Structure 1
């Protein structure tokens, strides 16, 4: 028994050790992997997808307007008494007048018009044959709404790629900034160590060592602030991809594309592919169908109809129902509105005004997006040029730190000179990181408005 318990403990400890190793082992998360999680889990995307699905089913429902409608009907009645007339006395009088010995040969003249219990049922069908184009317009409008739903889904998906780029590379920026702050702290701590030694040997004044103390304190404070920013950036990223937390190491680095396409390429792509512009065009088409639907009121409506009674227990001879033959009727009906207070005329004018409004908004939206793409394109180029320039500045700033530290040890530079050199180097590094971040997010926005957001995923593989 003891041996069995010991074996269980060993197995448990072994399992715990395996799980612990897996937990402490660093996991990785690329941009493409983050996108896959977001595309699967994001509630906003799921909600828009359900709206798109609703538009599809609504369109299918409107297509049913072309087909006949068949309905079953039934009715049951109960009266507190039957309605009829006993004419047997009148029959007897007629028999006497005609000198008939037995008036009963004339039959039973006790007639029932309505029994206490009555029920009947059957089927009826209607089929629109001509509606002046109203049904065609309704079906086409449903198809357009379905397409609008698809464009709304595409637009949301593109926006989420841009948002993911912003949040993902915000984490990269924040964590790279933490590393820069750590390097600054190491640099000023090294300088502080030198300052302490030089002060002890009477080579520098105490104020120089005090300046080194302040530099270390400032570097510590900025490092703590950078670490908090990094934690907050991960919370934002987790919110975008809708997971509880992101503890993984982000493996997709900042990048520079070898060469962008021409400005005209992205502007033309926007006109052809931007979901918002395509949505406006579809709304224009939808307004056109609204005009056609209103104009259909000027035409008559023609429909076929039919009805049959299958079940009936009304009195024999009452109405036109014959129990020995199931009645049915078929026919064609036509309706035409002669006057409705100019309602339809004004509705047509309203539909035309809506179409004209959509056309004007479409033209304005195209100009705005083309202008925005030019702005984003120029900004991306500026960020790329800035990165190139900052790389040279970083080389100079690194060399300046080395020279200032050497000069300080030789008594040729003050403590502030060394600290300033360290701050200058860290500032250049942070500017370069920010330029990389602006480049990545700017490119994501450019591709979003050009309707090419999926291309961003190719740059981040």
Structure 2
């Protein structure tokens, strides 16, 4: 059967909201809209998205790491220095000559000191353009860029993983509300039926058609049904509160996408396994880790490669005696001995690369197994739901016959209560089967990297759990 899902009291509530706040009137939210809201409000998703944006910017910032670096450099300051002039050679020649001269009246010639020291203070300024361009680094800069790109890829896969996990949580809370609404509706109907039976039992007791004990049994059935209905209503309120807080909604949230079941499987086991092997977030995370491990191994393996750097300088203080007007050259550096044991670092990088490959092999076994388990759980729930159609019809007919039999004196209050309880129990079991089917499908789509497909599949279902009928 195929009908629309409308929660009890939803129409009246919507009408009241429409009268008070016509601009914001809203009777509910479908699963596609709930998924969109969840992706904007979930803390884990937002955190993963921010991490991805940061790592993506870091990777973009390193794209020109092997290009030229041009800087404007300048200096201005005041320098104090002592100039020392060695006069030793002059002293050796001049002092003997002065000693051989006859004394001159009123003239006292001093001796020439061996050195002359003069203190100077002067201003110094410099302004120029400097550039450094790595011409050859043995692939180390490419490895750095590869590592940064791998980190960004891994972060992007983590966003998908967070979305998949949050989508499963949303499906659980969203459809738990629908299951709780169905349970509340069934329990309320059972309570009303028990009350009706109680009124009939009292009339028959007053007419002397049944004994007092039969009426007391009807009273007990009413008390039990009312208690179960109250508990179901409380469970519904808790489920609605959990959904509202997950979506960060300010008011009550009424789901409009019902529990559903397909008459045929929405996909073969092989198709879901292929989708999981192609789009699962774990595979994408491993691909990002593999890129990082390869880059780290390349970086360590090239540490003893020579480095060639082009250097240029242009002095803007033309005519200055302190610096050349321009300079162009090439610097070559070849590491010979380092404080770090590069051989061990390279071995560690190879081990990290092997660890990633081991994780990939394990994921290659785990992901298909998980997808198959979820697919079979989904199929079991689907078959269970479809097979319970006859059980529902039998329980409904048994309940009707028990009520008729009681009126005709051919059944007891216990028979009526048991029939009503059995119908409610059978209906709840079928609704639970529908919930199990939807949850297994949601988990399977999450494993396949396609959680958004659940909304589209709900519109193609041939069976839904009706909230307007028993």
* Cα distance, 1:222 vs structure 2: 1.3
| Matching residue of 2:162 | 156
1:43 and 2:43 matched: yes
1:381–1:308 CA distance, 2 compared to 1 (3 A): same
| Matching residue of 1:107 | none
Describe how 1:81-230 pairs up with structure 2 within 5 A: 83-84=82-83, 115-230=121-236
Question: Which string of whole-angstrom CA distances, capped at 9 and with x for unpartnered residues, describes residues 45-93 of structure 1?
Answer: 22222211112111111112111122333334445x55346999x99x9
Describe how 1:237-256 pairs up with structure 2 within 5 A: 237-245=243-251, 247-256=252-261
Secondary structure class of the residue paired with 1:67: coil
* Cα distance, 1:111 vs structure 2: 9.2
Match 2:421 to one of 415, 420, 423 = 423
| Matching residue of 1:435 | 433
The answer to whether the Cα contact below 8 Å between 2:392 and 2:426 also exists between their aligned partners in 1 is yes
Match 2:385 to one of 387, 390, 397 = 387
Inter-partner Cα distance in structure 2 for 1:209 and 1:24: 50
| Matching residue of 2:270 | 264
The answer to whether the Cα contact below 8 Å between 1:310 and 1:326 also exists between their aligned partners in 2 is no
Inter-partner Cα distance in structure 1 for 2:309 and 2:31: 59
The answer to whether the Cα contact below 8 Å between 1:132 and 1:300 also exists between their aligned partners in 2 is yes
Inter-partner Cα distance in structure 2 for 1:273 and 1:248: 32
| Matching residue of 1:105 | none
Inter-partner Cα distance in structure 1 for 2:125 and 2:25: 78
Inter-partner Cα distance in structure 1 for 2:22 and 2:258: 25
Inter-partner Cα distance in structure 2 for 1:21 and 1:177: 31
Inter-partner Cα distance in structure 1 for 2:420 and 2:197: 10
Secondary structure class of the residue paired with 1:66: coil
| Matching residue of 1:374 | 372
1:86–1:66 CA distance, 2 compared to 1 (3 A): closer
The answer to whether the Cα contact below 8 Å between 1:174 and 1:233 also exists between their aligned partners in 2 is yes
Inter-partner Cα distance in structure 1 for 2:191 and 2:281: 48
RMSD over aligned Cα, in angstroms?
3.1
Describe how 1:439-458 pairs up with structure 2 within 5 A: 439-458=437-456
* Cα distance, 1:167 vs structure 2: 1.3
The answer to whether the Cα contact below 8 Å between 2:29 and 2:253 also exists between their aligned partners in 1 is yes
> 374-383 vs 249-258, which deviates more?
249-258
1:297–1:86 CA distance, 2 compared to 1 (3 A): closer
* Cα distance, 1:181 vs structure 2: 0.8
1:142–1:217 CA distance, 2 compared to 1 (3 A): same
- TM-score by length of structure 2 reads 0.83
* Cα distance, 1:19 vs structure 2: 5.3
* Cα distance, 1:371 vs structure 2: 0.9
Unmatched tracts of structure 2, length 5 or more: 1-15, 98-115, 460-470
Inter-partner Cα distance in structure 1 for 2:196 and 2:119: 115
How many residue pairs end up in the alignment? 426
| Matching residue of 1:75 | 75
Unmatched tracts of structure 1, length 5 or more: 1-15, 98-109
Deviation above 4 Å: which 4+ runs of structure 1?
16-19, 23-26, 85-88, 93-97, 110-114
The answer to whether the Cα contact below 8 Å between 1:26 and 1:249 also exists between their aligned partners in 2 is no
1:414 and 2:412 matched: yes
The answer to whether the Cα contact below 8 Å between 1:32 and 1:460 also exists between their aligned partners in 2 is no
Secondary structure class of the residue paired with 2:411: coil
Inter-partner Cα distance in structure 2 for 1:379 and 1:394: 22
Inter-partner Cα distance in structure 2 for 1:250 and 1:128: 60
Inter-partner Cα distance in structure 1 for 2:166 and 2:325: 64
1:281 and 2:287 matched: yes
Inter-partner Cα distance in structure 2 for 1:63 and 1:26: 49
* Cα distance, 1:402 vs structure 2: 0.6
| Matching residue of 1:358 | 356
The answer to whether the Cα contact below 8 Å between 2:168 and 2:446 also exists between their aligned partners in 1 is yes
1:26–1:131 CA distance, 2 compared to 1 (3 A): closer
* Cα distance, 1:249 vs structure 2: 3.4
Secondary structure class of the residue paired with 2:338: coil
1:307 and 2:305 matched: no
